[in-house]
Amino acid sequence: MSDEILKVRDLTTRFFTEEGQVNAVEHVDFDVRDGEVFGIVGESGSGKSVTALSLIDLVETPGRIVEGEVWYRDADLAEEHRDSHPDAVDGDYVDVRQLPEATRRWLRGPAFATIFQDPMSSLNPSITVGEQIAEAVEVQRRARANPRRTRSRTQGYGLGRLLVDSVLPSQGYVSDESQERAVELLERVGIPDPEQRADEYPHEFSGGMLQRAMVAQALAGEPDVLIADEPTTALDVTIQAQILNLLTELQEEEDMSVVLITHNLGVIARMCQRVGVMYAGEVVERGSLEDVFENPVHPYTEGLLGSIPDVEDPAPRLSPIEGNVPSLLDAEMGDECYFADRCPKAMESCLTDIEEHEAPAATDDTDHLVRCILADREYDESEALGSAAKQEVISDD
């Protein structure tokens, strides 16, 4: 049995806006292995968060996942759908995107859980923290008790219940065990006085505590894959460290896989075993942390790493990457490498040829992939495009 819990293939998500088609995520491939932290790093607007939302199928209109496969390893689920959805099953893997909607929803929580960027707004202000976590526990407990995965997992939550609940906040749906489990989870993520805090509302929590509560809620379904979308961006530095420690600890104890999305290279270096670098909706370089960080091939990765201050060798000025992320509007995107106009090593053929190449392996690992022509050739300064020439070619499109 292979050790990948998740295999993402050719994932493409586009937004169909009034200004035109926006190619937010283009042909993204990556694998997430059992018990590893896979990092996705990139600038704002590089498609990191849309990738995360695409994994759990939560892209909102006008966005749509145009193509791609998300293979998730679940032998039982594969067996169950082998006959009814032959295209969606491959060995022990199921393609989440081809499963029926009810099953996809069933997977959210027990298979994939998500932590979002802003803990302050990720909990409903009108329900106590404990109740929200208990409800997540209950939903997922019921999901397990309904292994057919065919009918709505919110059975027993019909219109009548809804009307009653909206008038009288009821404990009827949530069992006592789920309430207790919620308190356990709060304790688990390091919230002091969990029993008392469970009865408090989100506005009574600090940002760090709320993010802990969010983690507790994500753990409610004992997920195989935890997707953390910029989990520490909204927090101050000391709290960031605490949350990252917590995630590391929980990931090891629960043996989860984590997809960690961030723009912070320091966080990636500290947390991840493998990493993918995104630029303009594409994964431009991916491989093990050592490969990517110590032996970067793509000039963009080099540029990102070059713009981090080095404590040992403080440079008088950091070297940022010139320019901005290109527009992702389809009409404005040409055939050239999207990084070509900012790339210090751009060459003539960069403007036509952007196939994915396998890089010379820096370690034994042959998983180091780079979307750049430099992957299998050396940089030759004589072929370099001057910045004027680059501008000209780009604006010709």
Tell me how far, at minimum, the Cβ of 181 lies from another protein, in Å: 14
Site string for another protein, 156-185 (x = CB under 8 A): -xxx-xxx-xxxxx----------------
* Shortest Å, Cβ 171 to another protein: 13
Pick from 297, 284, 279: nearest CA to 42: 279
Is residue 108 at the binding interface for another protein, with CB under 8 A as the rule?
yes
| 58 lies in the binding site for another protein (CB under 8 A) | yes
Interface stretch with another protein, choices 135-143, 185-193, 251-259, 364-372 (CB under 8 A): 135-143
The beta strands (E) that lie in the chain are given as 4-17, 20-33, 37-41, 63-73, 89-90, 93-95, 112-115, 225-229, 257-262, 274-279, 282-288, 357-358, 369-370
Question: For 222-243, b where at least 16 C-beta lie within 10 A, e where not — what string?
Answer: ebbbbbbbbbbebbeeebbebb
CB 362 → another protein: shortest distance, Å? 36
149 touches another protein by CB under 8 A = no
Among the listed residues 25, 50, 134, 220, the single contact to another protein using CB under 8 A:
220
Among 6, 50, 77, 218, binds another protein (CB under 8 A): 218
The distance from CA 178 to its chain's CA centroid, rounded to whole angstroms, is 28
Distance, CA of 291 to CA of 362 (rounded, Å): 6
Q: Which of 4, 74, 80, 135 binds another protein (CB under 8 A)?
A: 135
56 binds another protein (CB under 8 A): yes
3-state secondary structure of 47: coil
The encoded tokens of residue 305 equal 């790493």
Q: Where are the beta strands (DSSP E) in 117-186?
A: none
- Per CB under 8 A, the segment of 11-19, 34-42, 148-156, 254-262 that binds another protein is 148-156
Structure tokens, 333: 């995107």
Cβ atoms 9, 51 nearer than 8 A: no
> Phi-psi bin for 323: left (phi > 0), alpha (psi -120 to 50), beta?
left
CA 321/CA 207 separation, integer angstroms: 32
Helix-helix angle 207-219:237-254, to 10 degrees:
20
Q: Is 97 in the site for another protein (CB under 8 A)?
A: no
The per-residue b/e assignment along 167-185, b for 16 or more CB within 10 angstroms, e otherwise, is eeeeeebbeeebbebbbeb
Binder among 51, 54, 122, 251 for another protein (CB under 8 A): 122
Tell the smallest beta-carbon distance from residue 148 to another protein (Å): 15
65 is a site residue for another protein (CB under 8 A):
no
Which of 27/161 has CB closer to another protein? 161
Task: Give yes or no for a contact between 288 and 274, defined as CB atoms under 8 angstroms apart.
Answer: yes
351 interacts with another protein by CB under 8 A: no
Length of the chain: 397
How many CB atoms within 10 Å of residue 378? 5
* Residue from 1, 19, 83, 126 binding another protein (CB under 8 A): 126
Select the residue interacting with another protein from 221, 276, 303, 326 (CB under 8 A): 221
Q: Minimal distance in Å, beta carbon 124 to another protein?
A: 5
Q: Which is nearer to another protein, 160 or 314 (CB)?
A: 160
Q: Is 152 in the site for another protein (CB under 8 A)?
A: yes
Q: Under the criterion CB under 8 A, does residue 145 sit at the interface with another protein? A: no
Residues 187 to 216 in contact with another protein, rule: CB under 8 A: 201, 214
Rounded distance between C-alpha atoms, residue 321 and residue 301, angstroms: 10
The DSSP secondary-structure symbol of 315 reads -
Counting contacts by CB under 8 A, is residue 125 touching another protein?
Answer: yes
Question: Residue 368: helix, strand or coil by DSSP?
Answer: coil
Q: Which tokens belong to 116?
A: 């979002």
| Smallest gap from residue 339 Cβ to another protein (A) | 31
Q: How far is the CB of 28 from another protein (least distance, A)?
A: 19
| Nearer to another protein (CB atom), residue 108 or residue 345 | 108
Residue 8 CB, shortest distance to another protein, in Å, is 17
Number of residues located near another protein, criterion CB under 8 A: 47
Question: Binding residue for another protein (CB under 8 A) from 127, 269, 305, 394?
Answer: 127
The footprint of another protein (CB under 8 A) covers 56, 58, 61, 105-110, 112-114, 116-118, 121-127, 135-136, 139-140, 143, 152-154, 157-159, 161-163, 165-169, 201, 214, 217-218, 220-221
